[in-house]
Structure 1
Amino acid sequence: LSTLFFIHSLAMGWQHVNGVDLYYEQSGRGKHAVLLLPGALGSTRTDFGPQLKSLNKERFTVVGWDPRGYGQSRPPDRDFPSDFFERDAKDAVDLMKALGFARFSLLGWSDGGITALIAAARNPYLIRKMVVWGSNSFVSQHDLQLYEAVRDVSKWSARMRQPMEEVYGPEIFAKMWEAWVHGIAQFAKRPEGNICMELLPLISCPTFIIHGEKDPMVPSLHPQYLLKHIKGSRLHLMPEGKHNLHLKYADEFNKLVEDFLEE
């Protein structure tokens, strides 16, 4: 059962998928459907405002969603079992099917990029194209140190905390972030820190990797690894880009994405 309402040309609502109610927002009326996959603890609202607002509405139908336990897809509370990326990938694909999209493209940021990689590998006939940025397919010891350095959200700047605290409240946000750091760290115990390395050769859709060269969270060896192991993929470097390059340089990012999706 889905609940649906509209604000300006934006449809929003909940769709029951795999036993949970997933929140989504949809804009545009183009033939090419595109799913936006948010980062850790992320939601449509916090992660993709400029994309929902400004991606070409004549050519694309853009769907943003809050993965289970994030944003407005609560309850349930978010947990991080060893297969949480696989679970998100299945939820994402099943949500799009439930909304009536037979084939669609993926735009995945950070954790959402990992989810997109898995979804594309597992569903080659459903995924048209994929764009990922700020994403990794394994967790190195260096990555672990980066996560550990940001574990304590009280040390974040107020500006960095604010969007998340508005969604979750300060206490729940701090607790969830701690759980996420613990959740991502579990992959470092696997051989080579593997999250989804073995799936990369199974990806057959055209894949565009974007990387901000000043990304403090994702060292450049990650996009290079994806480029090497995803057949026919290409990499675009943004010299000034950090982790949130799609927000800070939204116009440039949106144009890159539109041009790629329309090729």
Structure 2
Amino acid sequence: MPGLALLVVLGAAGFWMLNTSSSGIPGFYIWKLTSGEANGGKRVLVNGIELYYETYGDPDAPPVLVLHGGLGFIESMHYQISALAGSRFVVAPDARGHGRTTDADVPITYERMAADTVTLMDRLGIARADIVGWSDGGIIGLIIAMEHPMRVRRLVTIGANYSIDGLSALPPEDASALGEVLAPARSFYLDVAPDPAHWDVFSGKVLRMWRTSPNYSALDLVRIEAPVLVMAGENDSIKRLHTEEMAQAIPDATLDIVPGASHFLPLEMPERANASILTFLGR
């Protein structure tokens, strides 16, 4: 696969390719320490896995779930977490098999991750919440909004697709074909995963999910009752027409295409992304 096409594929899936030193993650750890948010992560058994999550902000404030992209982890949403924590109770999980969350002997699917997220809400006593999701996290948010409309107050999707037709290209079947392109994600996984040796199995599951799903239609999106902010970069690796069709199909959606941004909008232009998110959720 040509190098440029490969980057497009990985971007479309929400892969976090920036290294930790250039992504602002060290500053996120410092923010947690200096702001009193370094309260440690928590684990809860849900649907056959041990789900890791972190919380930030005032537990009595309106709740918001912040969901990272595929092969990512909580830290890849750090700009959004720190921006929201000042006025919201932020709940940020590592998705099934990702980061510090364990995997199970079943395929990783968007539907399973959506079910995990709803179960986490149940365990935390959160009846209804806002959701901010990037890429795979945005797809999870769309599924929750379709299947559990009463659980979502407002939804922000960033660079999400509702069918595989929205991808510019499909990833390869085998993660080994990606070589060093996956090195940053693999390195972080090896540092924090409960079973670092599980990387090959985990990444293979995610690649299979990307190649075969999601498989929703514009008619499915009509079921969404919550207001939705559909965000994408002007140069996003999700097809522009697909993003526009998503916004048109959702009954109460606002489209925000950010000039000059790629699929990595939350990390590339955090101030611009956060301004839209905070304005939308504050309504």
Name the TM-score, length of structure 2 as normaliser: 0.77
1:209 aligns with 2:235: no
Q: Secondary structure at the residue paired with 2:226?
A: coil
Which of 144, 147, 156 is the equivalent residue of 2:171? Answer: 147
Q: Which runs of 5+ in 1 are unaligned?
A: 1-5, 188-192
Tell me which amino acid in the other structure corresponds to 2:118.
Answer: V
Give, as a single letter, the amino acid of the residue that structure 2 aligns with 1:43.
F
Is the 2:159–2:263 contact (alpha carbons within 8 Å) kept by the matching residues of 1?
yes
Corresponding residue SS for 1:235 = strand
Which consecutive unaligned segments of at least 5 residues does structure 2 have? 1-31
Offset from partner CA, 1:55-75 (integer Å, 9 cap, x none): 242x21111001222111114
Query: What does residue 258 of structure 1 align with?
Result: 278
Describe the SS at the equivalent of 1:148: coil
Contact 1:211–1:236 (8 Å) recurs in 2: yes
- TM-score norm. by structure 1 comes to 0.82
Q: For residues 246 and 229 of structure 1, do their structure 2 counterparts lie closer, same or farther at Cα, with a shift above 3 Å needed? A: same
In the alignment, which of 200, 221, 232 is matched to residue 252 of structure 2?
232
Identity of aligned residues (%): 29
1:27 aligns with 2:56: yes
* Correspondence for 2:101 among 50, 73, 78: 73
Higher relative contact order, structure no. (Cα contacts within 8 Å, ≥ 6 residues apart): 2
Aligned to 2:81: 52
Q: SS in structure 2 opposite 1:178?
A: helix
1:76 maps to amino acid: A
- Alignment equivalent of 1:194, drawn from 215, 222, 226: 215
- What is the aligned residue count? 246
* Alpha-carbon distance between aligned partners in 2 of 1:197 and 1:243, rounded to the nearest angstrom: 22
* 2:262 partner SS: coil
Residue of structure 1 equivalent to 2:133 = 108
Structure 1 residues 109-118 or 144-153, which shifts more?
Answer: 144-153
Structure 1 residue 23 displacement after superposition: 0.5
**Contact 1:138 1:197 survives alignment (8 Å):** no
* Closer/same/farther in 2, CA of residues 13 and 77 from structure 1, 3 Å limit: farther
Could you tell me which amino acid in structure 1 is paired with residue 204 of structure 2? Answer: E
State how far apart, in whole Å, the 2-side matches of 1:164 and 1:215 are.
25
Which stretch shifts more, 158-167 or 13-22?
158-167
**8 A contact 2:161–2:167 mirrored in 1:** no
Whose strand proportion is higher, 1 or 2? Answer: 1
| Structure 1 counterpart SS, 2:141 | helix
How big is the shift at 1:163? Answer: 4.1
In 1, Cα distance between equivalents of 2:206 and 2:261:
24
Q: Tell me the residue number matched to 1:18.
A: 47
- 1:40 is aligned to 2:70: yes
